[in-house]
Structure 1
Amino acid sequence: MTARNTGLPGKKRCRRAALLLLAGGLLALTAGCSLGGGEEAQPPKPAPVKVQSESDGPAEPAVPSPPPGPKAPLTGLPLGETALARPVMVMINNAPQARPQSGLSDADMLLEVLAEGEITRLVAVYQSSPAVQNPIGPVRSIRPYFIELGKSFGAIQVHAGGSPDGYAKLKKERIDDMDEITNAGPSFWREKSRKAPHNLYTSLEKIRTGAEGRGFTVTGDAALLPAYTFASADAAVQPVSAGGPDGSVEALTLDVTFLVKGYKVGYRYEAGSGRYLRSIDGEPHHDLNNGSQLAAENVIVMGADHKVLDKEGRLEVKLTGGGEALIFQKGRTQKGEWRRGASSEALKFASGGKAVELIPGRTHILIVPNAPDFASHVTYGPTTQP
């Protein structure tokens, strides 16, 4: 009898394979559930992300501050125009019939000096004023020492007539001048509301247009303009220290006499504005254009030698060399000196061996005789006038 194959060996192989698969699955399950000696497996932590803070630096480059703009050479204030205008000097009538004058509050610098007849004349210097159409005047005649003042600013010199010596100096030195009588009549006009000779006026616009037509340079050369030193903005608002190294003393008021005792110029310090307000013959000195009282951040009184030249009383005023000066700023005054070398140089002021730092703003300069002595023409004190 032939034996029958029952297939048992094949079933054994299948069972073995199934057992191996089961063991492998358990092993994989065990590995997935248990790591490191039975501790639970933690999910992987994400990589830290650094958050930028303000302390790490600006998110974008810092914008640099713009450089300071140009400053007006005679006031130290910001200059509206990038091109420097050449200074213009105008001779101003200061007789009682001429007051109030027009345009004096727009002048960068205002100088006062004696003329014949024991009266003073005003020398208004304009460089940075934007009020080019405002009337300026009344305009009067010129003298040799006024020409010297104009030269110290490199200015176009504006006048109506002059002394014989004045005309000779203008011609000899080839001064750029605008004279209503001889060469620049269209740049002036007469005001009908006043009587001659106290009614002649001009404007910066007319002067510069006329000067350009005559071939004069109307743009200033920074190298030729006076190099005055100005206090910083912070220093300008601080009061001058009492008893400090500058030797200053309190001066809230000052009075200046020239030759005639009845003719007196006064200044009263106004702390709120930091300026000295000007009066003349005991009355506020106003500008007819705007009604404002004339004022200056700096008032300088300087002494110069005066000499009478002829029977008309024409003067010679020595404006080279040097002499005494008093500088009034921020309610205080300090003793100083003025210096001017060659006649082409500017007036310079020093105190304690150092150049005086002007307060940014306007400056008034009063030139008094040295006789009988400088001190006799100036009084000042700590009390304000009512």
Structure 2
Amino acid sequence: MRRKKTDIFVGIMAACVCMAQAIPAFAAQQDLVGMNPDGETQAETQVKSYLTGENVPESIGRRRPVAVMLGNNISGAPQSGIGHAGVVYEAPVEGNITRLMGIFEDYDGLERIGSVRSCRDYYLYYANEFNAIYAHYGQASYAVPYLEQHVIDNLNGIKMGNLAYFRTTDRKAPHNAYTDAAHLQAGIDAMGYSQEYKEDYKGHYLFAEDGVEIVPEDGITANLVKLDNFTDNHPWYEYDAESGEYKRFQFGKEQIDELDNQQLTCDNIILQYSSCPPYGTDSYLNVDATSGGDGKFITRGKAIDIRWEKDSEWGITHYYDKNDKEIQLNQGKTWVEIVQNDRVDSVTYQ
């Protein structure tokens, strides 16, 4: 196994009335420093993020995340804040377009998250796997029974209006609904939702240990992964061996976060093959999020076959290799791609 460079961050603390003095850089895995009532320094405990496996402050890593529905047709892209999501799901919706769901634990500094779009029933299953608070602006009819039964804590823009969301003037509706930390908190407080994980929640994925890099054995080459199963945005990923990350593209160009114009990247890609028939004669899709199936795990320029299964209907999806061993992910961001069973052959690797 290869060793991975430790990320470094620089902390700067204001000091003195007349001048500011820079504090030396500390390794990211050290505790963050604060002040107690006696004026003495105290460390904030670091924990392993349930989303990325990385070391993060406990105030972030043990606060329930929010799972935000994001538009992803040509009018809905680029999205704002998506580069800060620890996990992103992409699944097909009606009209051959896709919709994204970003799962965020560290979102306090984001001035915009969105645009926020409507719920599809299968996304409720995915969000619940992370014990997330689900943020959406409206819903398809097939999601209504689940929302009425309150299978998941959710913030519905149709009902909460300007309390949990706001609209901008730089885009036309419905692509101009956004949220941020203050609006999310207002909605969460209004609904009385706990922001602590359930006591029995132990996380979703298995991650590599600090400093360890996972390179799948016997994997096929996957330096370029093209998802032409999605016929509207035609997304693809390109592996950057120097950073160890995959760069994300769609609509023929780099996919960026509109907040900082930085290209989206991830360390892990999971392809989850699923049945996606329409609901009868309706255009809405009945995506199977529970029955299990096959897929691919892609990381560090390699791809291996996997299978997925859930431990219960509303429980966590687990991914296993050919030896029936649950896979370990590299620390970092993960994209989960829901690939239609009848379009698996449209995914190519180079």
Which TM-score band applies after superposition, normalised by the shorter structure?
Answer: 0.7 to 0.9
Q: CA deviation at 1:184?
A: 4.9
Give yes or no for contact 2:98–2:230 (8 Å, CA) kept in 1. Answer: no
**Match for residue 269 of structure 2?**
299
User: What per-residue deviation string (whole Å, max 9, x for no partner) do you get for residues 266-289 of structure 1?
Assistant: 000011111000000221000000
**Match for residue 85 of structure 1?**
63
**Match for residue 282 of structure 1?**
252
Matches within 5 A, 1:364-375: 364-371=335-342, 374=344
User: What per-residue deviation string (whole Å, max 9, x for no partner) do you get for residues 104-161 of structure 1?
Assistant: 100010000011111000011112x154443110111101111111112111111111
**Match for residue 154 of structure 1?**
131
Give yes or no for contact 2:160–2:187 (8 Å, CA) kept in 1. Answer: no
Give yes or no for contact 1:114–1:121 (8 Å, CA) kept in 2. Answer: yes
* Structure 1 position 271 matched with structure 2 position 248: no
Give yes or no for contact 1:85–1:218 (8 Å, CA) kept in 2. Answer: yes
Q: CA deviation at 1:211?
A: 0.6
How many angstroms apart in 1 are the aligned matches of 2:110 and 2:233? 32
Going from structure 1 to structure 2, the CA distance change for 1:308 and 1:182 (only over 3 Å counts) comes to same
**Match for residue 357 of structure 1?**
328
Give yes or no for contact 1:368–1:377 (8 Å, CA) kept in 2. Answer: no
Matches within 5 A, 1:1-386: 69-82=46-59, 84-127=62-105, 129-221=106-198, 223-236=200-213, 240=215, 246-260=217-231, 263-351=233-321, 352-371=323-342, 374=344, 376-381=345-350
Q: CA deviation at 1:206?
A: 1.8
Structure with more helix by fraction: 1
User: What per-residue deviation string (whole Å, max 9, x for no partner) do you get for residues 57-81 of structure 1?
Assistant: xxxxxxxx99993111110111123
User: What per-residue deviation string (whole Å, max 9, x for no partner) do you get for residues 69-109 of structure 1?
Assistant: 31111101111234611121111000101111101100010
Uncovered stretches (5+) of structure 1, i.e. residues with no partner:
1-64, 382-386
Q: CA deviation at 1:202?
A: 0.4
Give yes or no for contact 1:349–1:355 (8 Å, CA) kept in 2. Answer: yes
Structure with more strand by fraction: 2
State the secondary structure of the residue aligned to 1:181: helix
Equivalent residue pairs, number: 307
Q: CA deviation at 1:234?
A: 2.9
How many angstroms apart in 2 are the aligned matches of 1:359 and 1:185? 39
How many angstroms apart in 2 are the aligned matches of 1:232 and 1:113? 30
How many angstroms apart in 2 are the aligned matches of 1:353 and 1:228? 15
Uncovered stretches (5+) of structure 2, i.e. residues with no partner:
1-29, 32-42
Structure 2 letter corresponding to 1:323: G
For the pair shown, which has the larger CA radius of gyration, 1 or 2? 1
Q: Which deviates the most, 175-184 or 136-145?
A: 175-184
Going from structure 1 to structure 2, the CA distance change for 1:185 and 1:175 (only over 3 Å counts) comes to farther
How many angstroms apart in 2 are the aligned matches of 1:104 and 1:231? 24
Q: CA deviation at 1:174?
A: 4.4
How many angstroms apart in 1 are the aligned matches of 2:185 and 2:229? 33
Structure 1 letter corresponding to 2:340: P
How many angstroms apart in 2 are the aligned matches of 1:192 and 1:133? 18
Normalising by the residue count of structure 2, what TM-score does the alignment of the two structures yield?
0.82
Q: CA deviation at 1:222?
A: 5.9
Give yes or no for contact 1:179–1:185 (8 Å, CA) kept in 2. Answer: no
How many angstroms apart in 2 are the aligned matches of 1:114 and 1:371? 13
Give yes or no for contact 1:208–1:218 (8 Å, CA) kept in 2. Answer: no
Q: CA deviation at 1:377?
A: 2.9
State the secondary structure of the residue aligned to 1:328: strand
How many angstroms apart in 1 are the aligned matches of 2:335 and 2:294? 16
Give yes or no for contact 1:320–1:341 (8 Å, CA) kept in 2. Answer: no
User: What per-residue deviation string (whole Å, max 9, x for no partner) do you get for residues 345-370 of structure 1?
Assistant: 11211112111111111000100110
